[in-house]
Structure formats: C-alpha cells, structure tokens
Amino acid sequence: MALAGAGCVVDALCPAGHPLSKMRSVRRAYAYRGLMPLHSFGEAIADAQPDFIVPGDDLATCHLHHLHARESLHGEAGQWVCELIKRSLGAPESFPVVYARTAFADLARAAGVRAPQTEVVANLDDLKKWVSRFGLPTVLKANGTSGGEGVRVAHTLEEAERAFRDLQSPPLLARAAKRALVDQDKSLVWPSLLRHRSVVNAQVFVEGHEATGTVACWKGAVLASLHFEVVNKRSAAGPSSVLRLIENPEMSSAAEKMVRRLGLSGIHGFDFMLEAHTGNAHLIEINPRATQVGHLALGPGRDLPAALYSAMSGEPLRAAKKVTENDTITLFPQEWMRDPASSFLTSGYHDVPWEEPELLRACVRKTWSLKFWDSRQDALPTFSAVRVPRS
C-alpha cells in the first residue's frame, strides 16, 4: 500500500489465497509454489519485469539469494536477473552474512558497533564450553529463522541443551505435512525430507528491553529510517504489537555503519537490546527484508517508501503526509490478537488498513486468524515486484 502510494506500480508473488492477492494496491499477484520456489520467482520476475524487488520475509530473501547464485552461472543470459537482485538487496558479498548470525555479529564489532559476543555451537560439548565461559542466562538462535521462531533464552544448562536439540533438529515430517496440507505452506517439506539441521548460535544475554529499527538504503547509504522501542509483544518470543517512536543516535549510527559495510540496498530491519542500567544499544541481529513498521510515514527522513521511490526513479523526494503525531504505534492485528481489551487500541495510533477491506476481513474473519497470520505471514514467502512508471 505504501509503495503504491509513493508512486510505484506493485505486483506481488504470494501463496494462493494470501490476502496480497486480493488487495487493490496490487496490480497482479503471481502464485508462489513451495516445492518449486525458484521457478516461481523466475516466472514472476520474467513476466512482471520489475525495476526493484522488496522481499516481505526471510525465506523470500533466501530464495532471491539462491536465484542470484543460479543465474550467475548462466553468464550473459542471467545477467539481467542478477543485476535486478543486486539493485534490490545490495552487494552479493553481503548475502551469506545476513543469514549467518555469528558472522554478522563479528562484522558489527569490527565496524565499531556494540554487539554481543556470538558463536556457532556445533554440538552439546560446544554449548557446555560456551556456558562455562559466558554464564547463564544465554540466548540460542538458529540461522535462517525469524519472528522469534528460532530463538530461545535458557536460564539453566538443562534448558540450554533442550533448546539446542530443538533448534538444530530437522522439522518433523508430521509438522511439515500439516503445514503443507492445512496452511498450504510447503516450505518445510524439503528440509524435513532431507533431514536438514539448522546452524545454532549462542549469544551473550543482554539484560534490558528490546528496540527495533528499519531503514531504506541505496548502494550502502541510508535514505530514511525509523527507530522504535518495543512496548508490547504478541508473545514472549513473537513479533512486536506496540512500539514507541524514539530518537536513538547509537541505533542510527549502528544501522548506518552496517548498511555501509555490507553495501545494502532496499529495506532492512535491525534489532537491538537497550541495556537496562546504561541505555547502551546492542545490535543483536539484522532482518534482510521489509519489516512490519516500514510502511509508516512519520515525517522528514522517516518515509521509507518515498525515499526508495526517489532513489529508483531519480525524481525529487515527495514524502507522504505524516500519518500521526502520536509516538505510540499500535500494530494491527497483532495487539488486537494479544488483548482485544488493550488500552493501546485507543491510546496509540492503531494502524488498521481501512483502505484495503479484503485485507481487513482476512485479519478479523475468525478466531483462528492468529494461527493464519503466524503461518502465512511469518513462514510463507512473499515479495513485491515494483515498477517505476515512465513518463
């Protein structure tokens, strides 16, 4: 919606029945097939001929990385797709780093960014050595996961060992089959059949509260940014449901340094912990995709879609009208699902997509919509294929 409002023509790739396919803002929706993801992406890109791609989740970004690797083997025939992906995401050299949590944390510290010590733990012996060095609680994270799904905080060695086994284990075949048949999500089928084990990282626990930022960037330079402290979450390890807009120079500086170091383009999110006693911002991970607050126009330097459109088109920046003067943003449907009686539904700016009735209906249709949004939005790939209208 925000990209269309900024002047883009937007096509989408999404699973059958996804709300994106019913939105007025989307000119055309292409079908994503979970068992043939790269073929789905290739077909959509060939037909839509986009100027830019905005991945809506981590799996979509991963598919784009793999598509770039595949097309780079085809020489001149694959050059256009490779250039499109590079223009959309940034330097291909950054692709392995954004999914390797330890490599990203190491790079952050090398760039002068405050980031907690992070290491790959390959087995239980590695885990025990980590705990003996850094103590408890500790955080365990699996590569390639998002939305809190692959994160565990362990307060005892026994908890840490259970979390390690859970995070490293391949998806159960029954779980993959249920996702495929009930949720039409086939993303777990190949990992389950091939018994794929995730890389697990241990990260030093930072006592404090969560904060998040998202940036629009172009060839290693930040164009616009939004930074928030997390007020409420839908669940302990789940996505945010209420945020408060803040100015935090350390968060801004960290994002700018990482965007420059990785040569990023597009929309990327950064998660932080604000240390309880000092307020220091510790960068804990990157989200190499659009995040759930990136569409908000909140004043000069805080309109990501407008900044991205200006960079793509070469036209002067035309920022949208500020959507609210309220610094508290209540995300729909997350906070409503967390607590239908929440005071933030009225005290904050409640970000309800009134302009897209089909999307709104999909959010409120039944009480099982929480499960619907978890599986469709967090686990299934979506991307927006953007074209800049030519005069």
Report d(CA 130, CA 205) in Å as an integer.
12
pLDDT of residue 327: 98
**C-beta of residue 214 within 8 angstroms of C-beta of residue 268:** yes
pLDDT of residue 387: 73
pLDDT at 170 over 70: no
CB neighbourhood size of 295 (10 A): 22
**C-beta of residue 61 within 8 angstroms of C-beta of residue 289:** yes
* Percent of the chain at pLDDT exceeding 90: 73
Provide Rg for the chain, Cα atoms.
20
Half-sphere exposure at residue 364, Cβ-oriented, CA atoms within 13 angstroms: 13
pLDDT of residue 386: 72
CB neighbourhood size of 290 (10 A): 27
pTM of the model as a whole: 0.89
What angle (nearest 5°) sits at the alpha carbon of residue 20, between those of residues 143 and 328?
70
Mean pLDDT across the stretch 19-44? 92
pLDDT at 47 over 90: yes
Question: pLDDT by residue (tens digit) across 300-315?
Answer: 999 999 999 999 999 9
pLDDT of residue 362: 85
pLDDT of residue 179: 56
Question: pLDDT by residue (tens digit) across 304-361?
Answer: 999 999 999 999 999 899 999 999 999 999 898 899 999 999 999 999 999 999 888 8
Question: pLDDT by residue (tens digit) across 105-126?
Answer: 999 999 999 999 999 999 999 9
pLDDT of residue 16: 85
Q: What is the mean pLDDT of the chain?
A: 89
Amino acid at 311: A
Report d(CA 179, CA 149) in Å as an integer.
15
pLDDT of residue 171: 54
pLDDT of residue 197: 67
Question: pLDDT by residue (tens digit) across 178-232?
Answer: 455 545 555 555 554 444 668 999 999 999 999 999 999 999 999 999 999 999 9
Close Cβ partners of 216 (under 8 Å, ≥ 6 residues apart): 222, 223, 224, 225, 266, 267, 294, 304, 305, 307, 308, 311
pLDDT of residue 97: 95
Please give the C-alpha separations between residue 164 and each of 141, 149, 333, in angstroms, as whole numbers. Answer: 9, 13, 32
pLDDT at 40 over 80: yes
